[in-house]
Amino acid sequence: MAYIATAHNAADHRSLMSRVLTALGNFFSDYAEARSRSAEIEALTRLTDAELAKRGLTREGIVHHVFSSSFYL
């Protein structure tokens, strides 16, 4: 008969839990940011070309404008 003994370190569980919670937090943060950016794109898309021009934007430049703070294009 064989006996197997394993020692579990509480720090390992906390580390795993910390990584899981960090991953979940990052996911929800990314999701919320993506939703807000898509809402901004939709709002700008609804504007007329004249209204966009007043803001210094073109219809083709909407996505670049919205994501310019997070990407270097």
Would you write out the chain's pLDDT as a tens digit for each of its 73 residues?
Answer: 666 766 666 667 678 889 999 999 999 998 888 888 899 999 999 999 999 999 999 999 999 999 887 765 4
Please give the Cα distance from 52 to 41 (Å, whole number): 12
- CB distance 37 to 66 below 8 Å: yes
**pLDDT confidence of residue 11:** 64
Residue reference for tokens 């004249």: 50
**pLDDT confidence of residue 10:** 61
**pLDDT confidence of residue 16:** 87
Please give the Cα distance from 49 to 58 (Å, whole number): 7
- CB distance 65 to 57 below 8 Å: yes
